[in-house]
Amino acid sequence: MGCGRHSSLTGINKGSLKVGLDHYEPYIQRSRHAGVHDHYVIGDARRLPFRTGSFDCAVATEILEHMEKKDGVEMIAEMERVARKKIILTTPNGFLPTAPGPEDNPDEEHLSGWTAGELEAMGFKVYGFSGPKGLWTIRNGRAVLRFVPRRPHLLSAVASDLAGLFVHNRPASAFQLFFVKELNG
């Protein structure tokens, strides 16, 4: 769900069929140009245009927070309907007040926050990543590391990865959450 500006599916499972869905056509075009998915569909994640059990896995990375809670719950129900084996979600831990992105997509703004407990109650296993919440702050409407080293690309990546190990099994203290739900398909 949601091809977005950057897909976390780039280079994943090259042997499997990947279908990208987004309601914002410029993101579909960008993803198509990058060759991330095999097929593309413009549509609404709350009402997926796929048959029940169409996919082994349904993935939505950094989508939930862009929806009101009731819409996010609808999207998850639709993901459960179309997936046979597994659902994977990621989202910031709690509400993260960010502004719309640099492009003209009006739906980049965050509208809701989700916690580990909420999705655990829905049957998901929850893991933390991107290090502890305290390492991050909001600047100019975007989440950024609070302390930026002189060589930000190399050191930030290493620091975030190492801190991610600390929060993997402590999702309540993590900046971002990774959810997995195994289905009985």
- CATH number (domain holding residue 90): 3.40.50.150
Residue 106 lies in a domain: yes
- Say what the pLDDT of residue 27 is: 85
Domain that holds residue 164: 44-182
Residue 28 lies in a domain: no
Residue identified by tokens 């050191």 is: 155
- Say what the pLDDT of residue 77 is: 97
- Say what the pLDDT of residue 158 is: 67
- How many domains are there within the chain? 1
Residue 157 lies in a domain: yes
Output the average pLDDT for the chain: 85
Residue identified by tokens 């639709």 is: 78
First to last CA, the chain: 20
Residue 108 lies in a domain: yes
User: In the chain, what percentage of residues exceed pLDDT 70?
Assistant: 84
Strand partners, 57: 86
Residue 57 lies in a domain: yes
Residue 16 lies in a domain: no
- Say what the pLDDT of residue 148 is: 65
- Say what the pLDDT of residue 168 is: 86
Average pLDDT of 21-29?
87
Residue identified by tokens 């289905």 is: 183
Residue 37 lies in a domain: no
pLDDT at 155 > cutoff 70: no
Residue 6 lies in a domain: no
pLDDT at 16 > cutoff 90: no
* Closest residue by Cα to residue 45 from 17, 28, 20: 20
Average pLDDT of 97-112?
77
- Say what the pLDDT of residue 5 is: 64
pLDDT at 86 > cutoff 90: yes
Q: Are 111 and 152 in contact (CB under 8 A)?
A: no
> What is residue 99's DSSP assignment?
-
